[in-house]
Structures are given as structure tokens and as C-alpha cells.
Chains A and B, each alone.
Chain A
Amino acid sequence: MSTLTGIGRDALARVVAADISPGSFVNLGIGLPTRISNYLPPNSGVMLHTENGMLGMGPEAQGEVIDPDLVNAGKVPVTELPGASYFHHADSFAMMRGGHLDICVLGAYQVSAAGDLANWHTGQPGDIPAVGGAMDLAIGARQTFVMMTLLTRDGRPKLVPECTYPLTGLACVSRVYTDLAVFFIEPGRVVVRDLFDTGFAELARLLDVPLVDGTREVAS
């Protein structure tokens, strides 16, 4: 088991948020990626898409503003921002599948060195499968980012030569943001852009995937 600590979830969410260009149309997956919205500057002009049929989604609704007709893809009550729009499910997924969204950020069980994604099913016998929009989101946006811990709870890497979990999509992930490092999945290679409290050699020892050192100086 690794003793590395890396950075926390909110710090990682901040790193991803900083990589989202102003004015982007973005879908943030359920769970960890949702936190990214807390770190998008209010004037960034980033518009959030939720695949159940809305562009211009605002923060989670609290108290009296909760409206049962206004929920996100996680079925959590949310709010609308000025300039928001609503559309039906087929249009919403056409928007996604048709490559009109700039970035989608998803959680994952595993990502392969070729950018294959596994995030919908553990494949355990007896598990009831449920896919939701995972496969549409994986292959739809212009860029798919994954945000996850690099290691499982028992210390096994989740960035792997080949996924062993059932696949969600093939060669669809372009970046992997983890608590220990940020990886760019490029044709034929995996480049490390950021390291968080971890040395490159140490990181390389953790993974079975060959890495290219592309680290830059990171302001903490």
C-alpha cells in the first residue's frame, strides 16, 4: 500500500477547474466531478449541461427554492442561471453525442493507457447492471476528462495497461486528474503533466503504464 498523500478532492477540483477555458460548455458527472463547479470563477462564462435536459445549470437548490421540476442528472434539485435553456432527452443526448459540448468530466473505476474508460459496472456476479448516461457521456464531448483517486483503497492503480472492468467507451479519455498526478493520454503515450507531493520515479514505480515526464512547475 502506498503512503503517498497527494492532494485532496477540493484541491484537485480546483486544478480541473483551472483547465476549463472561459466560455466552455461542460458536463460534470455525478460524484467527485460535481465539486469542480465550486471552483469555476463566476465570470468564467462556463455553462453547465445536465443530460436530463438543461444548459445553464446553477448550484444545488436549498430550502424553499427546491423545485421538483428542476433536477440534475443525479436527481438532485438544482437552480437555473440567467440564459438557461431546457430541451428533451433526445436533444440533450444529441447535443452530447454530436460533439457540441467542449468537456465532460467523469469518475472512473479504471482508465487504460489508450484512454479506454471503465466506470459503469464492477462486473461482480449478482450486481444489477445500470448504465444511465455513462456510455453517451464517455464518447460524446470533444474532450473527456476523468477525475479519480489514482489508487484503489487497497492500493491498486486505476490507470492500467488494459481495463479489467467492463468498458464504458474505447479510447475516449484525454486527461486523467488524480490525487497524485495529472496525466495526458496522447497517441501511443501517457504524459505526466503535474505531480502532487510525489516524485516522477515514485509515480512510475506505482504504475504498470510507461510514463513520459512532462511536468511543469506548479504553483501550489
Chain B
Amino acid sequence: MPFNWYEQLKHKIRFWLLARLPTCQETVQVISQSLERSLSIRERVLLKLHLWICMWCQWYLEHLLTIRTTLRSQAEKNPEMELPTTATLSAEARERIKRSLGAE
């Protein structure tokens, strides 16, 4: 591969920036809050820059959104979130509830 000065420059800029931006540990907190409230302009710019150079945090955000969307559409399909480990009312609880309702 020929010497690619452009790629090298990009690489250098990314590391220079990453050293000056909030860390991943700080950024994941902001990513989580971005799902709860609207971020300030400053927070948004710092987040965008961080995501531009950090694939890991890009994936982190993508995964949080994937988890949210998956859970919500599952809940729509199946609100009791029935799990393969079939939890049911125990016979004892069933009887107790029936008694409390006045059924024999």
C-alpha cells in the first residue's frame, strides 16, 4: 500500500482529540442521559466529537438503542414478558386468592 499521508494525518488528529475530550467512562454517562433529557449544546458537541473518533462508544450508543427498541416491541407483542422459564401462580397462592375472593 502506498504511503497514505491523509490517513496518517487523520489518525494523528483523532488521537490528539481523544486525549483532550471527555473519557469513555464520562461519555457513556452522557450517552445514557441523552436517552433521558435533551443535552446542552456543549454536551452535544463534545459527544459528537467523541463519537466521531471512538467506535466503541458508537457501538455503546447503538446497543442501548437496540436494547430499548427490542424490549419495547417485545412488550407490545407480549406485555407480561412471558419468559421460557414458565413462572406461574403456585397452587397454594391460587387457592388463597380464590378463598379471599369468596370462591370455594
Instruction: State whether these chains interact.
Output: no
